[in-house]
Every structure is written in C-alpha cells, then in structure tokens.
C-alpha cells in the first residue's frame, strides 16, 4: 500500500508569536506536527506546546452537540432560543442589557461577525474580550502616543538591535520562539546587550547582561527617570523631537520633577543605583534600542501610563521607525491583534475606527446597519459587575473561561447566576464557565477552524482546517450569523464561508481610508477564494503603497494624530496601593512553560503536564522559614477575597516579601487553585485592564494529616454526563493527563484509608482487579496497586504528611504501557522504583524527549558543561529549545563534584 502524506500549513493557536505549523497526516492518520520552515515568525521552530499540538486533538471531553439546561438539543432549537431571548431583552430592556464576551482564541472572522452583530445591529458596544486582561493598556498607550493602535516594529528588530530591554516579560516561557530568536541573535552579535526588567529571576534571565529585579509596580518611576537621565546627559534627538512630536516639554518637566534624583528612584524601585545607571547609560549610548514589554507592564492599574513612559523614551531619542529600534508590545494570545483590528474591545469600532461621529456614520453606511452603537460599551470588569447587579439579561461567552481568568473570579460566578440567559460557545464541555451556561454551543477547534489570525508584529496568517469537526461542532462565525439571520438581518449576514467574512473585513478597512487610517487591507480586498486559501503570511498594511506589506511604521515620521506628530504623554508615576500589615506578601501571577491559559487544550497532553504537575507558590526561603513553611509543603494562600491551597516552592529566584502563583489551574484540574479568586478588581482607569501583579496575601502551612498520589489508566472523575465531574472527597486534589492515563495528587485530614476505599470502588466498578497492597498503619504508609489481566490499572501511594515521599512517578507511569508485567516489575511496583540497575529518570525537564533531571545531573557529573553538550548526549533542548534556560541553570547549580555528591546522597537516601 502506498504511503501518502497530506500536509496542511496552518498557524499555532497559543501565544502571540504566531508560528507556522505543518500538520501532517499519513493515510489519514495524524502525525506529529512540525514548524513551517518558510513562516517568517518561526522559520520551522516550535516551542514545547506547539510541538505537542497533535496530542491535544482527541475528542475526549469535547462538546459534541448543543445543550439546553444540560440536555442535548438541535441547533435550530438552540439558535431560535438565543434569537428569541435577544429580541425579548431588546424589547423589554434595550440593547445595553445584552453583553458579549469574546477571546483572543477566536479567529478574525469570528470576531468580525460578533462585533458587526453587536455594535451594528443589536446596537450596543457591550462586547469585550479577554484581550482586555492582557493587551488593553498597550492599545491605549499606542493610541495616546501615535493616534492609532499601531505596533511600530517587527520581530527582526529584536535581532537587529544593539540593546534589548525585556520588561515584564518572561519571554523564555511565555514567547519561547521569540526568545530563541533573541538568543541566536545575541550569539551572532556578542556586543548586543539584553536587560531583563522583572521582579522575578526567571528563565529569561539566562541571556541577560543585566537583571533589574525592581519592586512590583515601580516601572513608571524607572522609565520616567530614564527620560530625565537622557535629557541630563545630552542623549536626546532634538531634531526628531522638534519635527515629529509634540508635548515633550510637559512630559520632561514631569519626569524631572519626580525622578531626577537617581538615588531616590533606585530606592523606590528597590534596585542598586549602579545597576540603574548602567541600564540608562546603555540606552543613552546605544545607536538602536528595542523595549519589548508584556503583561508585567500591561496588567497594572497604571499600565497605560507605564506604556507611555516607555514610548516617551523612544520618541525622545528617535529610536522608533528604524531597524532595531521601537517600543514593542508583545501580545499574549494568538489573535489578540486580530480582535483589535475588528473592534473586539468595547471602546473600539471595526477597522481601527472609534465612536467619533464620522467613524460611526462610515461604519453604518458600509454595513447598512440600522443603528451603530453610539458610545463605548462596558469593559470586561464593568460588564460582569453589571451582570452581577442584574443589569445584563443576556450574555454570550465565546472561547474563554472568565470564571478562572478574571479577577475577583467568584464575582463572575455570582454574575453568571444573575443573568437570565447565559450562552457559552466552546469546544470543551467541562470548563468552569460552561457549568453556568443555560445554552452550550459546540464550537469547532484548532485543526478544524478556517480563517486568519494576526500576530504581535501585525502579520496575518492563515489558520487552516485539516480535520473534520466532531459531532455537530460549528465555527463561531456561523453560529453568530445564524442568530443574526433569525433576528431579521439575513442579507447583511449571508456568509457562506470564512472567505466571505474576510473580504468584507478587508473592504471595510479600505472604505474611505485613503491613508488616513493605519489599518488598511485594500490590497487584499479583491482576492478570489483560491487566493485567500493560498494566502501567505503578510504584515499589514497591504495597499498600493505597501503591496507586500510593511515591516515598520513611522520611518517616514508620520503619525495618525490630528497634527501628524507623535504625542509625548506626561504621567506621574504612582506605586500600587498596598496594605501596611505585618505578614503580608505581594502575589505576582503569570504563566509557566508547558501550559496555556486555563489548560483547556494543554491539559489534554500528557507530556505537557509532567514538567510542572501541580499548582504552586514560589516563595523566598527566608520568608518561608519565618512562616514555618517547608519546601513542597501544602500552604494556604489567603487574600481579603478568598484562599487557595497550593504547594510551596522555595527559591531564591523570588524576592523576599513577594510570591508568585501561576494562572492556569481551574476547578477542572484542581480543587482550590483559581488564583483569580484572590485578586480584586482594581484596574487602569484609561484602559480598563485589571491589576494582576499586585495582590496582598498571607501564607500559612495547611493543617493536613496525609498526602499521596494516584496513577490510573481510567479517569476517576468521569461521570455519565460529559458536563459533570466526580471529584474526590478530600481537602486537596489535582488531576492531570499522562501519556498512559491520569495522575492525581491528593491530601487531606482524618483517615486516609477512607479515600483509598472510595478510589478502589471507582476503579473496580467496571473491572475485575487484583489488588496488591502494602500497609504500615504505624507509619501511615499505604501502597496499593491494581492489576487486571496482568496489566497495570492503577497505583495509589498514601503517607503521613510529616513524612514526605520524594518518589518520582516517571517509571510507574511507563509501566501502564507494558502489555504484560513481568515478575520483577510486579514486585517492584510498591517500591515505586525500577528493579535491578535501571535508572529512574527523575523529574522531567525536557518534555519533548522526556529527559529527566537524574540523567542531566549524571551528564553534568561526567563533564557536560553547556546546554549544547547536554543536547548532544541526551537530545534535551534540541527540539523546541524551551528547556534550555533550565538546562543552563542546572549546569550553573551543579559542578561535576556537586553533581556526583548529589547522586551519592540520592542513592544513600533511597537505599
């Protein structure tokens, strides 16, 4: 039989880098994905999340049919109910009682139809997006300075620059392919300087020439001080300032009045003055500079001012619009930029137009709309607060999980209970938000969807489907158009395919534009369908002036303000308000390497779950000692709003007085780890973006009696209904996927045998099992293994919480794949360690090749002194490269002598 490989070029659905992906099938069977060699964002590279996309495409947990009140229904009935409810609310309460909440996971075509329906035909701008949580302050900063939401540079600038400031961005984990490009550029040009400005010492610091571990929230002081320093050291570009900007004197006066005293600024930022001066001197003397900023700047109650403080120093030095120079906001989501293009935020209209009368009239005529919304709508926080008050009667949530991701996340629960009709369109049935839906609509997912996305450098790429949608799943644009038709707007929403939507979107961008607006796709507006299907990645604008797209804006000195000049924005730096109370620590939040947002997709990939398997809190060892907290101990993290239960990780990468909690864990994957429930709803008054980096919390050891883990071939939480779960009855649990089944970490109070008995009942309800048990009641140790047909079905290890178990699970996980257990393996199961001389690999560091810390430590002991040498020996770091910073850190931590001593100590402790 001949082997036929079918290949589809598409775009990764994770971060804003926008990597090209080759999805391959052999005789209809999906193969591992690969990076597209010709895609200008990644040139064939993929991070660990992208490399494992093929492992997330199974239909387990998918929403396969429309549900009303939890019961299957037809599309007709579901869509009729939605349209009828919208019409009823319009008649009874008016358009502002209707709300939509979208996502950077939507394709541009989905986003466009949603905004057209809401703002043009329902007549309300109460449509916002989870991009409000990550990009709104960057958008507001650009618009205040440039007159438009225009990212001025491109990824090539990160490679061409003499100085790169990475601000509030753990690029190595959040945008790994950009990090790899920067790392390679630094190798190619050893004179290139990299400064990381971040309260934490993250993996990104691996390539830093200087790390400024500033106090959370003090970025505005730093950049205002830099502006004053540049003026005081004759480092301004007076010609650029005079010819192309306005408002400079006011901004400089403000900066000098507040931030001229470097010693005072250094104290305010909690930085050594010498380090601050070094950074400033580099910026002043570097011919080119890029400041790449992300969530650490944006997710702030003063995020817009911080963004403008960054832009100010680039305008003051003319470091904008030229290769290697620009203020560069790195987006968090795959299509946050596409959402901004179509007016995805509540304060925008489509095609980068606003609510000015001329823009409203223009959009109304183009859409042939009855009444375009007259004013900006409610931004995300205010939208859900209005729902909690009962003012929102209908709410449609698309491809996002606000019950987890929003601040004051329990308010979101209360809000959804108040809304008369909640519609959720999602690919997965069992999300925290789906539990509150009256109507659940099955959405097509990555691999099935067809349309476009726009990455951080304004590059539009095609996302192409290569799999059929399971069950009755449909694209979001189709659902929205069907509702619009039922509301009486058939002619204006007569879309048959994504091509129809994209062409209308492109034509609107060109409508009465003539160069007056930055966003212009007139060069694509007359494409035929075949050209759309074959569309290669291209940066907007695409028009007569830039038929092949434009890499950089502002090289011509023209900005989109009324005067055509860029605006300096005067801003007084303000520190976040903190409660002055002994014992309070500041909680920072963010991403980890191998997971994405609320784990809806990455939670399905076994390899991605093993790098960091449980929710945690990073804390400095001295703070931990003061609080009586030990490493790997379960701790309660408590704020004024709520508390969560997570594991402590002691690390001196975390500054004293501060802690870090990841954002990913949901009630689907952990009993009590939604960090959003701790955070209040303070937000930027300009952008509406919430403050997610500054939260006062207290930590204390959890008072529990036992803890342990379970490995199981079957999902212990599964129930007859896909929208319901059966979690375990204990104080702490987490669940995740392995390559062979599922893992559970558990802890609780009282008799641990009770939970073991409950689990045993679940495991044996459908399967005849032989149980092998080792119980030591005096020490509180229980180890049980379930075997059926000489194949491993489950293992359960429980122990007294005062006697922590350091056993690694990797070898046990591997045994579930064995077609038959030999005698030695059966005997070894309850030891948790491989029989004979076979070595346990230890905790997984390289997810791509499943290389564990033991093998890495051994290689270091044998003389490997670089990540490249480890890669040659073990393959780790040679695929996606996401683990290279950790490999480098391990090399720094383990000299050969230390590694040998560690190996000996480990052997003695286990013998």
β-bridge mates for residue 165, sequence order: 195, 291
519-548 pLDDT, tens digit each: 999 999 999 999 999 999 999 999 999 999
- Give me the pLDDT at residue 840, please: 64
What is the chain's mean pLDDT, rounded?
Answer: 93
- Give me the pLDDT at residue 580, please: 80
Q: What CATH architecture does domain 844-910 belong to?
A: Orthogonal Bundle (1.10)
Q: What is the DSSP letter of 684?
A: -
Q: Is 774 helix (H, G, I), strand (E, B) or coil?
A: strand
Average of per-residue pLDDT across 421-442? 96
The alpha-helical segments, DSSP class H, found in 126-272 are 136-146, 155-160, 171-174, 176-188, 219-232, 238-244, 248-259, 262-269
398-410 pLDDT, tens digit each: 999 999 999 999 9
| Res. 835: pLDDT tops 70 | yes
Identify the band that residue 414 occupies on the pLDDT scale cut at 50, 70 and 90: very high
Check if 67-134+335-539 and 585-701 are the same fold: no
Residues 6+ apart with CB under 8 A from 305: 220, 569, 571, 572, 573, 574, 686
| Res. 906: pLDDT tops 70 | no
Residues 6+ apart with CB under 8 A from 262: 225, 229, 273, 276, 277
Global pTM reads: 0.94
| Res. 282: pLDDT tops 90 | yes
Q: For the stretch 13-44, what's the b/e string if a residue is b when 16 or more beta carbons lie within 10 angstroms of its beta carbon?
A: bbbbbbbbbbbbbeeeebeebbbbeebbbbee
Average of per-residue pLDDT across 665-677? 94
Q: Is 787 helix (H, G, I), strand (E, B) or coil?
A: strand
> What phi and psi, each to the nearest 5 degrees, are found at residue 528?
-85, 175
Q: What CATH architecture does domain 67-134+335-539 belong to?
A: 3-Layer(aba) Sandwich (3.40)
CATH placement of domain 585-701: 2.40.40.20
Q: Which of 485, 478, 483, 423 is nearest to 449 (CA)?
A: 478
- Give me the pLDDT at residue 1, please: 43
Q: Is 434 helix (H, G, I), strand (E, B) or coil?
A: helix
Average of per-residue pLDDT across 357-369? 97
Percent of the chain at pLDDT exceeding 90: 78
- Give me the pLDDT at residue 910, please: 45
* Structure-model confidence comparison of residues 433 and 864, the more confident one: 433
**Residue 415 and residue 436: Cα distance in Å, rounded?**
10
- Give me the pLDDT at residue 895, please: 58
Residues 6+ apart with CB under 8 A from 768: 788
CA separation, residue 164 to residues 67, 169, 455, 733 (Å): 50, 12, 20, 42
The alpha-helical segments, DSSP class H, found in 94-168 are 108-115, 136-146, 155-160
**Residue 385 and residue 418: Cα distance in Å, rounded?**
11
Q: Which of 371, 441, 430 is nearest to 403 (CA)?
A: 430
Residues 6+ apart with CB under 8 A from 487: 83, 86, 87, 121, 122
Q: What is the DSSP letter of 576?
A: P
Percent of the chain at pLDDT exceeding 70: 96
Query: Reading across the β-sheet that carries 770-776, which strands appear in turn?
Result: 732-738, 741-748, 706-712, 791-800, 781-788, 770-776
Provide the residue ranges of all domains of the chain, joining segments of one domain with +.
5-56, 67-134+335-539, 147-329, 585-701, 706-831, 844-910
203-228 pLDDT, tens digit each: 999 999 999 999 999 999 999 999 99
103-154 pLDDT, tens digit each: 999 999 999 999 999 999 999 999 999 999 999 999 999 999 999 999 999 9
- Give me the pLDDT at residue 2, please: 55
461-520 pLDDT, tens digit each: 999 999 999 999 999 999 999 999 999 999 999 999 999 999 999 999 999 999 999 999
837-896 pLDDT, tens digit each: 566 677 788 888 888 888 888 888 888 888 888 888 888 888 878 788 888 888 887 755
Identify the band that residue 827 occupies on the pLDDT scale cut at 50, 70 and 90: confident
Any idea which residue has 């035929």 for tokens? 528
**Residue 722 and residue 547: Cα distance in Å, rounded?**
49
Q: Note whether 658 and 680 are within 8 A (CB).
A: no
CATH of 5-56, one of 3.30.390.30, 3.30.390.10, 3.30.2310.20, 2.20.25.90: 2.20.25.90
- Give me the pLDDT at residue 902, please: 53
- Give me the pLDDT at residue 746, please: 95
Identify the band that residue 456 occupies on the pLDDT scale cut at 50, 70 and 90: very high
Any idea which residue has 């993996």 for tokens? 203
Identify the band that residue 900 occupies on the pLDDT scale cut at 50, 70 and 90: low
Homologous superfamily of domain range 147-329: Dimethylsulfoxide Reductase, domain 2 (3.40.228.10)
Highest mean pLDDT among 68-72, 848-852, 907-911: 68-72
């Amino acid at each position: 039989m001949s082997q036929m490989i079918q290949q589809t070029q598409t775009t990764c659905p994770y971060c804003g880098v926008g990597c090209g992906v080759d999805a391959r099938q052999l005789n209809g069977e999906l193969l591992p994905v690969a990076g597209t060699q010709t895609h200008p964002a990644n040139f064939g590279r993929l991070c660990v999340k992208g490399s494992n996309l093929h492992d997330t495409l199974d239909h387990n947990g998918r929403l396969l049919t429309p549900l009303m009140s939890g019961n299957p229904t037809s599309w007709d009935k579901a869509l009729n109910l939605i349209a009828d409810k919208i019409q009823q609310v319009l008649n009874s309460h008016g358009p502002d009682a209707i709300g939509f909440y979208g996502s950077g996971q939507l394709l541009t075509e989905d986003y466009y139809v949603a905004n057209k329906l809401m703002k043009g035909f329902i007549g309300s701008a109460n449509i916002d997006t989870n991009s409000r949580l990550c990009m709104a302050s960057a958008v507001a900063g650009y618009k205040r300075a440039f007159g438009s939401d225009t990212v001025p540079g491109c990824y090539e600038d990160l490679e061409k620059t003499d100085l790169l400031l990475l601000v509030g961005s753990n690029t190595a984990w959040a945008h790994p392919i950009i990090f790899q490009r920067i790392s390679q550029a630094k190798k190619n040009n050893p004179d290139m300087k990299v400064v990381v400005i971040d309260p934490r010492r993250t993996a990104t610091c691996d390539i830093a020439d200087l790390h400024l571990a500033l106090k959370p929230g003090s970025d505005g002081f730093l950049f205002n001080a830099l502006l004053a320093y540049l003026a005081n050291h004759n480092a301004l570009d007076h010609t650029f300032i005079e010819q192309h900007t306005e408002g400079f004197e006011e901004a400089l006066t403000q900066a000098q009045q507040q931030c001229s005293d470097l010693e005072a600024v250094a104290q305010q930022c909690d930085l050594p003055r010498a380090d601050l001066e070094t950074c400033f001197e580099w910026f002043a003397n570097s011919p080119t500079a890029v400041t790449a900023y992300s969530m650490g700047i944006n997710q702030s109650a003063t995020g817009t001012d911080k963004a403008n403080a960054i832009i100010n120093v680039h305008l003051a030095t003319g470091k904008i619009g030229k290769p290697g120079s620009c203020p560069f906001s790195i987006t968090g989501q795959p299509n946050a930029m596409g959402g901004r293009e179509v007016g995805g935020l509540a304060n925008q209209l489509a095609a980068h137009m606003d609510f000015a009368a001329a823009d409203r009239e223009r959009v109304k005529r183009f859409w042939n709309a009855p009444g375009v919304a007259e004013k900006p709508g409610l931004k995300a926080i205010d939208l859900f607060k209005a729902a909690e008050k009962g003012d929102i009667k209908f709410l449609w949530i698309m491809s996002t999980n606000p019950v987890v991701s929003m601040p004051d996340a329990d308010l979101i629960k209360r809000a959804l209970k108040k809304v008369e009709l909640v519609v959720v369109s999602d690919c997965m049935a069992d999300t925290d938000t789906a539990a509150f839906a009256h109507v659940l609509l099955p959405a097509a997912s990555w691999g099935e969807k067809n349309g476009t996305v726009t990455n951080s450098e304004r590059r539009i790429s095609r996302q192409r489907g290569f799999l059929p949608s399971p069950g009755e799943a449909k694209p979001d644009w189709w659902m929205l158009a069907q509702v619009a038709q039922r509301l009486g707007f058939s002619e204006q929403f007569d879309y048959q395919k994504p091509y129809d939507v994209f062409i209308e979107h492109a034509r609107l961008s060109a409508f009465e534009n003539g160069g007056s607006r930055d966003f212009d796709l007139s060069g694509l507006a007359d494409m035929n369908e075949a050209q759309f299907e074959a569309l290669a990645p291209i940066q907007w604008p695409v028009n007569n002036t830039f038929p092949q797209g434009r890499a950089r804006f502002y090289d011509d000195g023209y900005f989109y303000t009324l005067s055509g000049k860029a605006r300096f924005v005067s801003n007084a730096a303000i520190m976040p308000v903190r409660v002055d109370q002994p014992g309070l620590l500041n909680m920072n939040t963010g991403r980890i390497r191998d997971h994405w947002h609320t784990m809806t997709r990455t939670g399905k990939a076994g390899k991605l779950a093993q790098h960091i398997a449980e929710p945690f809190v990073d804390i400095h060892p001295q703070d931990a000692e003061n609080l009586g907290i030990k490493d790997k101990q379960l701790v309660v993290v408590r704020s004024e709003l709520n508390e969560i239960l997570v594991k402590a990780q002691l690390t001196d990468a975390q500054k004293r007085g501060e802690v870090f909690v990841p954002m990913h864990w949901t009630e689907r994957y952990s009993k009590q780890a939604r960090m959003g429930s701790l955070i209040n709803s303070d937000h930027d008054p300009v952008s509406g973006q919430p403050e997610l980096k500054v939260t006062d919390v207290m930590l204390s050891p959890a008072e529990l009696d036992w803890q342990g883990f379970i490995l199981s071939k079957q999902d212990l939480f599964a129930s007859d209904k896909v929208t319901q779960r059966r979690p375990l009855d204990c104080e702490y649990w987490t669940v995740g996927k392995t390559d062979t089944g599922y893992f559970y970490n558990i802890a609780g109070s009282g008799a641990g045998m009770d939970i073991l008995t409950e689990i045993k009942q679940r495991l044996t309800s459908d399967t005849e099992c032989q149980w092998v048990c080792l119980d030591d009641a005096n020490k509180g140790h229980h180890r049980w293994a379930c075997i059926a047909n000489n194949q491993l079905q489950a293992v359960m290890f429980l122990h007294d919480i005062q006697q922590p178990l350091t056993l690694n699970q990797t070898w046990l996980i591997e045994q579930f794949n064995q077609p038959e257990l030999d005698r030695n393996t059966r005997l070894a199961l309850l030891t948790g360690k491989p029989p004979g001389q076979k070595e346990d690999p230890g905790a997984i560091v390289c997810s791509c090749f499943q290389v564990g810390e033991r093998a890495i430590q051994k290689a270091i002991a044998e003389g490997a002194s670089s990540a490249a040498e480890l890669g040659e020996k073990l393959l780790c770091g040679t695929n996606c490269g996401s683990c290279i910073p950790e490999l480098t850190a391990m090399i720094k931590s383990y000299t050969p002598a230390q590694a040998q001593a560690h190996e000996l100590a480990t052997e003695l402790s286990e013998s």
